[in-house]
Chain A
Amino acid sequence: MSILLERDTTFIVQGITGREAVNLTRECLDYGSKVVGGVTPGRKGREVHGVPVFDTVGQAVEHHGSPIDGSVVTVPPAFTKDAVIEALENGIKLIVVVTERIPRGDVAAMVELAEIKGARIIGPNCLGLIVPEVCKMGGIGGPAEDAAKSYSPGPVGVMSRSGGMTTEISSSLTHAGLGVSTAISIGGDAIIGSTYAELMPYFEADGQTEAIVIYTEPGGRMEAELAEWVKENSSRLPIVAFMAGKFMDDDEMQGMSFGHAGTIVEGKEDSATEKIKRLEAAGIAVVERIDEIPDAIKERIGK
């Protein structure tokens, strides 16, 4: 079992002829993912690693002959909103938005339409998601052989605001003999398609998942939302959190953002210290050091 992806999940890559997208397509194919098409306007008829390229999402769906499950969107920020809406209008239900620096209003518009269409957006400003040895959707974990080193199947669900840290943490779980059920790079922006709290019900319903790790940063109210969710839903899943960017609490750092656009602290409640308090009050274990995560999980699931 896993969440959001299965072995048969099909997806396209919008913006497939871009340099990063070509690499990402290769990586996903090597991992065994079913990339059934790509879209770049004006490039119909080409191929990227054997994947047919179309001008529109509609053409890709028609060529495939049945609905396509997902899309990885990696087009420049000015065109992302249109690309995501095109995917949604063509019946795609899972969209990974890789692009960063998209204005908030555009992100909010995509998310609003996704909700109307019953679809889910992961990102923007993310690396996608992976179910070890089953499917990789996006650049997460890098080339297939590298991804295999970092991700082995196991009982821990991982959600992270940082793409790189998704792999760093998963690798430590893999090397500790635990492994990962599904790992999701949720994105580093202030507004994202799927927050921790919105993804929790999927993990809750997944038989394979026994515990959750979240990587978090200053800025935004996503952790407060998770704390609320945990309190209201008496979740069966123990959660271990790691908070990076505590140095941003210093007086000299006020009003600055580091690492990701979403780290801008707009009120005291968004600071690292306040978030840690709130998570702990909800019964979430917040570890001080990144390397304490595997043991904290073992302690909680008795392995």
Chain B
Amino acid sequence: MRFYEYESRKIVERAGVPVTKYGFCQTAEEARRVAEDIGCPVVIKSQVLSGGRMKAGGVQFADTPDEAARHAEDILGLEINGLMPVGVLVDPKAEIKQEYYAGVVWDGTAKKPLMLFSDMGGIDIEQVAENHPEHVGRGHVSNLFPVGDFEAKQVIAATGVTGRQLNRATPVLARLARLFLENDMLLAEINPLAELTDGSFVALDAHMEMEDEAVGRQKQLLRNELKIAEEDTRDQYEPSTFERNVKAIDAADHRGVIQGKDHGFSGNLGLVIGAGGGSLTLTDAVRNQGGKPANYSEIGGNPSVAKTCGLAKEVLQKDGVEKIAVMMSIVSNTRVDIVARGVIKACLELDLDPAETIAIFRIPGAWEDEGFRILDRYGVEYYDRSVSLWDAAGRAVAKIQGAAA
């Protein structure tokens, strides 16, 4: 789950990292009042889940409250990379002496979070790491033991920072690491972390992302403090009707799992496939043999006949779908006969002939004899494990191309 900058600032603020006195505004009038309140000059920043705000004109400076209101008006109506902002942030224009970077990310190889610090802030940390590696300090933190201030200090000192700056920056990085762990973050960055001319350190911009798996246990922060509604999932793109419908069918019945995606797919061959790895393998196999998948899907666990039927019907009713291919890697938990019943039921309920509509059925494994008996009855072409996933996908492609020719 991604956060807007104003939310990320609240998250670091509640963890004890100093921030400037800023305001989140949804109208030009509010922006004027905030500018009056905190005193000009101010900076107006678009609150949008996209990078490149500065380049797109989503960050503007104002010397008077009137100017702040005008900029807010413009920015509130400015689309950035296809996204409209949810508001603007009005921030005092800081008198910066030096910019730093403080961040925590996951290191999948070490299986631990990694603290990062640089005395070259305000720019992309990956760029700094590549061009000035001596200006980036790194250190892993434990998931079992509390993060010590000294660990943050070591990381910062490795960049050559010392004196008062070291002592001011240390608690900031340590607190950032603690909030990263406590709030199940995937990414927690303060960039820039600014040293102001008065010597204080403040987070001038922050970027946070929380792991979706942890949203359930972070309700206090998300719902009560940040007031983020449950349906506000911050997905990368709007789900399609197909995706919403499949999700609803899945949620209605706890047995098994079905998933469907069609973002980026627009072919004529509907895929009713599974499980996780099998679906990836099969989607590649269809495409690499010249097929055009209409969607991606996954059947996992042991779904009911109704659930499988629901998925197949959704796929069949997608625009442009001519046939479906029902394929999975060898199943142990999912029952072949239940999937067979589900897809045949879907055809019949839509007044389609299963033998014509199901290009091929290739699911070997648990209860396959029963499944194949049912498929025989309806004249559906099916294969067992002696036909590979590649050949099964190829057969489905050949059949739909034959039908088109």
Contact = CB atoms under 8 A, between A and B. Distances in A.
Contacts of B279: 258-259
A27 to B, nearest CB: 8
B329 A168 contact: yes
B18 to A, nearest CB: 26
Given A108-B111, A112-B111, A290 B281 contact: yes
Contacts of A253: 263-264
B330 interface: yes
A112 B142 contact: yes
Contacts of B308: none
A255 B263 CA distance: 12
Contacts of A290: 281, 285, 388-390
A215 to B, nearest CB: 6
Interface string A104-134: 1111110111000000000000010000000
Given A109-B143, A164-B329, A290-B390, A215 B106 contact: no
Interface in A214-234: 215, 217, 220-222, 224-225
A188 B277 CA distance: 9
A256 interface: yes
Nearest to A292: B390
A162 B279 CA distance: 10
Contacts of B236: 255-256
Contacts of A195: 109
Contacts of A108: 111-113, 143
Contacts of B284: 244-247
A20 B332 CA distance: 12
Interface in B350-395: 365-366, 385-386, 388-391
B332 A146 contact: yes
A182 interface: no
A33 to B, nearest CB: 15
A299 interface: no
A250 to B, nearest CB: 6
Nearest to B277: A162
A103 interface: yes
Contacts of B278: 162, 164-165, 168
A4 interface: no
A75 B330 CA distance: 25
Given A105-B214, A142-B366, A171-B385, A259 B277 contact: yes
A159 interface: no
B188 to A, nearest CB: 12
A252 interface: yes
Interface in B304-334: 328-333
Contacts of A258: 261, 279-280, 283, 296
Interface string B172-199: 0000000001001010000000000000
Nearest to A109: B143
Interface residues on A, range: 35 or more
B209 to A, nearest CB: 10
B234 to A, nearest CB: 12
B144 A139 contact: no
Nearest to B126: A267
A104 B106 contact: yes
A106 B216 CA distance: 14
A201 B302 CA distance: 36
Contacts of A261: 213
A171 B143 contact: no
Given A112-B142, A256-B261, A291 B109 contact: no
Contacts of B332: 127, 139-143, 146-147, 164, 167
A140 B328 CA distance: 16
A25 to B, nearest CB: 14
B233 to A, nearest CB: 14
A56 interface: no
A146 B277 contact: no
B120 interface: no
Interface in A165-219: 165, 167-168, 171-172, 175, 188, 190-191, 195, 215, 217
B349 interface: no
Contacts of B330: 150, 164, 167-168, 171
B109 A221 contact: yes
Given A258-B261, A289-B390, A165 B184 contact: no
Nearest to A272: B284
B177 to A, nearest CB: 12
Contacts of B214: 103, 105
Interface string A4-35: 00000000000000001001000000000000
A77 interface: yes
B287 interface: yes
B109 A225 contact: yes
A20 to B, nearest CB: 8
A278 interface: no
B211 interface: yes
A102 interface: yes
A63 interface: no
Interface of A: 20, 23, 77-78, 101-109, 111-113, 127, 139-143, 146-147, 149-150, 160-165, 167-168, 171-172, 175, 188, 190-191, 195, 215, 217, 220-222, 224-225, 242, 244-248, 250, 252-253, 255-256, 258-261, 263, 288-291
27 contacts: A103-B214, A112-B111, A112-B143, A113-B144, A140-B332, A142-B332, A142-B365, A149-B385, A150-B385, A161-B277, A162-B276, A164-B277, A164-B328, A167-B329, A168-B330, A168-B389, A188-B277, A191-B108, A221-B108, A221-B109, A222-B108, A225-B109, A244-B277, A253-B263, A260-B276, A261-B213, A290-B390
Interface of B: 106, 108-109, 111-113, 142-144, 181, 184, 186, 211, 213-214, 216-217, 236, 261, 263-264, 274-281, 283-285, 287-288, 296, 298, 328-333, 365-366, 385-386, 388-391
Given A103-B217, A106-B143, A143-B332, 13 more contacts: A20-B333, A103-B214, A105-B143, A163-B276, A163-B277, A164-B277, A168-B278, A171-B330, A221-B108, A246-B288, A248-B280, A258-B283, A259-B277
Q: Top 7 closest A-B pairs, CB basis?
A: A142-B332, A162-B277, A252-B264, A291-B388, A259-B276, A165-B277, A244-B280
